[in-house]
Structure 1
Amino acid sequence: MTGRCLRFLAILLASFALLARPALAQQILRDAETEAFMADMSGPLVKAAGMEPRNVQVFVINDPEINAFVAGGQYVWVHSGLIAQADNVNQLQGVVAHELGHIEGGHIIRSAEGMKEATGITLLSLVLGAAAIAAGGAEAGMGILGAGQQAAMGKFLAFSRAQESSADLAGARYLSKAGVSGKGSLEFFKKLQNLEYRLAIPQEDSYGRTHPLSGERINVLREVYTVDPAWDKPVDPPLEARFERIKAKLIGFVSEPTQTLRKYPESDQTIPAHYARAYAWHKSAYPQKALAEADALLAAMPHDPYFLELKGQILLESGKPADAIAPLREAVKLTNQPLISTLLGHALIATEDDANFAEAEQVLRNAVARDRENPFAWYQLGVVYERRGDTARAALATAERYSMMGQDAMAMRSADAALQGLKPGTVDYLRAQDIAMVSRAAVEQQRKKK
């Protein structure tokens, strides 16, 4: 019976792990305009939470579910489905404020406390159940085990619901301090409540759930928001316009083109509609239609860096890298944004013109200096070094790329290859040493686990 008891414990602990550790395997959607918008939109809320805006980042994950979460560090992860379903920027601000409440409250770290308490209950029930079984009371012993598992799960779920309620109230404080209305927060909870109705989730009691019912949360927060001085403050028009842009381009990028074109028909001549259709046509391999939409955007705003980026991307990915250089150069000049710089570097390399390689190297080195977490930039920089015959630095760039992708064995081999050709004591040599040491330790740890 001991083996069976241990299996019960393993199943329970696995359930806790799934509840407490959100999956980060989804594709992270990196986009210069979206990241700039997220930083500006969340900045006042981050300050209101007593944190430094430059240390907090809001990322978008390619996932159609309406969800957002934090998973360690000062990072907020927002699903693309949530942005697509949000009606305005105020609703998104309400969600982000809630997630900042989790960060400020240290809830990811404190979740271990709830798991520890629940595990303690489980272990006690295992001991008592095993004792009852050994005394001949098999049925009583199994009852104790089952009750202990239920009590442990209930304990953990109650802990999780308390954290959610705490984050709700913290988010309300941040919105108030930042002078942002809580209307969007309530509106979004009503969306979630409607989803609960469609899924036929019982509305009487939130027991057995990780989150309070949306109706419960609305009732509590309504009392807080409606008396706040910012309650009737309208949505900031420029910020709302930016939100509509990034929402449209996101839908155009992640949705099936037919869905995008239904939502944004050609009769719709607004900026967001042109944006969404440009991505839809580009995904459908209609480059001329995509370029026509990009040109329509540039006719309205000739020096918008993100419209220039879009046109450059369409040209580059349609096999016209030389034509892509001019709009991408202007976009980089206007923003100095590393993601756009990487795209320009790619275009310069794709021309296969040796005269462009010096500029490509400079652009890409600047890009990785400002944003090291960009595997594609490292790949392109490695291509430049390889074409120049600088195999040591090509190997180092490859090691950087594999390291951030979590491919430790490949990172170790590439770093070792770089060390063979780099001058000892230089910055590049020391960096290769660091990657080799960290990767080798990770590889050894993986071997020990096998």
Structure 2
Amino acid sequence: MNTSNLRFRLRAIVLAVSMAGAVTGLFSAPSARAQGLPLIRDTEIELLLNDYSQKIFRAAGLGTGRVTVRIVNNDAFNAFVIDGRNVFMHTGTLMQANTPNEVIGVLAHEAGHIAGGHMAALRSRIAKDQTRALLIQLLGIGAMIGGAVSGGDAGKEIGSAGQGVMMGGNELIMRGLTAERRSQESAADQAGLQYLNATQQSGRGMLATFERFAGQELFSDAHKDAFARTHPVATDRLARLRQLVESSPYYNNKDAPELQLRHDMVRAKLSGYIEPPAVVFNRYPPSDTSLPARYARAIASFRRGGAGGLETALQGADALLRERPNDPYFWEVKGDFLQKAGRPQEAIGPFRKALQLHGGDAPLVGVQLAQALIQTKDPRVADEAINLLRKAVQKEPDNATAYNTLGQAYYDKGMMAQAELARAQGLFYFGALKQAQEFAKRAQAGLKAGSPDWVKADDIINYKPQT
């Protein structure tokens, strides 16, 4: 993974936010998990966020495909950036935002930070030992507490540095950093509203988000919501934001009904997969016959398990499919139920249908289908699984799950060198460099010197993290 030690340190800092493990039912992102961020992958959610963000990113001059919105499994309302290539969005933000416009407003604000180069300035300051701990305090991510919890070297370093600052009392530095951070937040507000106006979208969602947390300025960090800690909202800043939003010619523009439905479906899906089933059934009672409610209840029924849990879930999925037979996500969810219930042969059909409805271009679904094929232990479908996984890694070269699954497929076919190489690539993108290099050495011994696969193994063997 081509990341510097500084970025690893930054991500270790983000560890200080209390985060749950990767969720069952949605793909986890292993490389991020290895660094402490429990990212999840899901085609439906990612495509929705892509539709939310791409117009905004283009308006911000960030192009198409340069910035990726990544999903953090955390129930707090928050979003943040730590470099110029990723926006991290909490699942809590998606679940608590009532409209697409609220999420789009958050994305516009974060795009303002990226376009303004704010993270470059932050990294420059973090590189200075004497201000690092102060910045951690400013970011409001509880590094001293988080360092004690994480137990890692980075956590210990951050924790001890924080204690030193508390004892030293660098008030002048803190005031300067606070003023700079507030200036950056205000600049990101204005830039974000420019992007919303350029795309003819209302800023009401952004305003609603900041108004929600504006009253927490005087709270201690322990009692602030995550968004209030990382996006401090001063009264004068909120007043300026409100004036700009209300003066926009697009103030009264609303989200399209179909977009609102997609948003509600994603919220229901996240609730079904992440929240305890009892909470899901309370949030979406049987009296609610809407499509999102039935979606959430079908997933929650599967996760609740017990007598009839799977059958109830499958009945719910089939009812959804009768209403919308061309919805790829309903087919995918049905396949997910069957695969996780130990019925891979039955899962193949739904996964194939989902992939077909995506036009064959859905790497995550392709990986799920390949996993089901492999789990059948039928040698006749091994080549199909390998082809699906090769397509997946071509589309997403850093997909560690796809590489690990490909390693299993090669192993089942007796292609040991290719299996070792795929394992090495999976471990590499997982962030386990030492283990990746061990597998790469074993793979290289069975590969023709100078061949493309031999070179890939050699690249891993000789890789050295940037300093």
TM more than 0.5: yes
Task: Please say if residues 341 and 367 of structure 1, whose CA atoms lie closer than 8 Å, have aligned partners that are also in contact.
Answer: yes
Question: SS of the counterpart of 1:58?
Answer: strand
1:412 Cα deviation after fit: 0.6
Summarize deviations over 1:216-237 as a string: whole Å, max 9, x none. Answer: 4331111111111111112122
> In the alignment, is residue 189 of structure 1 matched against residue 210 of structure 2?
yes
Q: Aligned residue for 2:398?
A: 373
Q: Aligned residue for 1:180?
A: 201
Q: Aligned residue for 1:260?
A: 280
Correspondence 1:93-132 to 2 at 5 A? 93-114=104-125, 119=130
> In the alignment, is residue 326 of structure 1 matched against residue 346 of structure 2?
no
From 420, 424, 433, give the equivalent of 2:458.
433
Task: Give unpaired runs (5+ residues) of structure 1.
Answer: 1-16, 123-144, 202-208
CA 1:352–1:297 in 2, change beyond 3 Å: closer, same or farther?
A: same
Structure 2 counterpart of 1:315, which letter?
Answer: L
Task: Please say if residues 78 and 92 of structure 2, whose CA atoms lie closer than 8 Å, have aligned partners that are also in contact.
Answer: yes
Structure 1 counterpart of 2:193, which letter?
Answer: A
Q: Aligned residue for 1:222?
A: 242
How many residues align? The count is 397
Summarize deviations over 1:14-64 as a string: whole Å, max 9, x none. Answer: xxx889953362310100111111111111111111111221211110011
1:334 Cα deviation after fit: 2.0
Q: How far apart are the structure 2 equivalents of 1:215 and 1:258? A: 39
Q: Greater relative contact order: 1 or 2 (C-alpha under 8 angstroms, separation 6 or more)?
A: 2
1:113 Cα deviation after fit: 4.9
> In the alignment, is residue 232 of structure 1 matched against residue 232 of structure 2?
no
From 51, 54, 69, give the equivalent of 1:58.
69
Q: How far apart are the structure 1 equivalents of 2:131 and 2:376? A: 63
CA 1:214–1:373 in 2, change beyond 3 Å: closer, same or farther?
A: farther
Task: Please say if residues 10 and 82 of structure 2, whose CA atoms lie closer than 8 Å, have aligned partners that are also in contact.
Answer: no
Question: SS of the counterpart of 1:54?
Answer: coil
> In the alignment, is residue 383 of structure 1 matched against residue 445 of structure 2?
no
Structure 1 counterpart of 2:262, which letter?
Answer: R
Q: Aligned residue for 1:361?
A: 386
Q: Aligned residue for 1:213?
A: 233
Structure 1 counterpart of 2:322, which letter?
Answer: A
Question: SS of the counterpart of 2:37?
Answer: coil
Correspondence 1:310-321 to 2 at 5 A? 310-321=333-344
The structure whose residues are more often helix, as a share, is 1
Q: Aligned residue for 1:67?
A: 78
Task: Give unpaired runs (5+ residues) of structure 2.
Answer: 1-8, 16-34, 134-165, 222-228
Query: Percent identity at matched positions?
Result: 36
Larger radius of gyration: 1
1:281 Cα deviation after fit: 1.6
Q: How far apart are the structure 2 equivalents of 1:386 and 1:174? A: 50
Q: Aligned residue for 2:144?
A: none
Q: Aligned residue for 1:14?
A: none
Question: SS of the counterpart of 2:65?
Answer: helix
1:214 Cα deviation after fit: 5.5
Q: Aligned residue for 1:48?
A: 59
From 329, 348, 364, give the equivalent of 1:339.
364
Q: Aligned residue for 1:274?
A: 294
Summarize deviations over 1:91-127 as a string: whole Å, max 9, x none. Answer: 00010100001110111111245557994899xxxxx
Q: Aligned residue for 1:301?
A: 324
Task: Please say if residues 103 and 205 of structure 2, whose CA atoms lie closer than 8 Å, have aligned partners that are also in contact.
Answer: yes
Q: How far apart are the structure 2 equivalents of 1:200 and 1:429? A: 55
Q: How far apart are the structure 2 equivalents of 1:212 and 1:192? A: 9
1:78 Cα deviation after fit: 0.5
Deviates more, 1:355-364 or 1:275-284: 275-284
Task: Please say if residues 114 and 156 of structure 1, whose CA atoms lie closer than 8 Å, have aligned partners that are also in contact.
Answer: no
From 146, 149, 152, give the equivalent of 2:170.
149
Task: Please say if residues 12 and 36 of structure 2, whose CA atoms lie closer than 8 Å, have aligned partners that are also in contact.
Answer: no
Q: How far apart are the structure 2 equivalents of 1:183 and 1:111? A: 29
> In the alignment, is residue 22 of structure 1 matched against residue 14 of structure 2?
yes
Structure 2 counterpart of 1:420, which letter?
Answer: A
Structure 2 counterpart of 1:370, which letter?
Answer: K
Structure 1 counterpart of 2:325, which letter?
Answer: P
Question: SS of the counterpart of 2:87?
Answer: strand
Q: How far apart are the structure 1 equivalents of 2:371 and 2:129? A: 52
Q: How far apart are the structure 1 equivalents of 2:313 and 2:186? A: 46
Q: Aligned residue for 2:49?
A: 38
Q: How far apart are the structure 2 equivalents of 1:279 and 1:436? A: 43
Q: Aligned residue for 1:3?
A: none
Structure 1 counterpart of 2:104, which letter?
Answer: Q
Question: SS of the counterpart of 1:393?
Answer: helix
Question: SS of the counterpart of 1:60?
Answer: strand
Question: SS of the counterpart of 2:369?
Answer: helix
Task: Please say if residues 355 and 362 of structure 2, whose CA atoms lie closer than 8 Å, have aligned partners that are also in contact.
Answer: yes
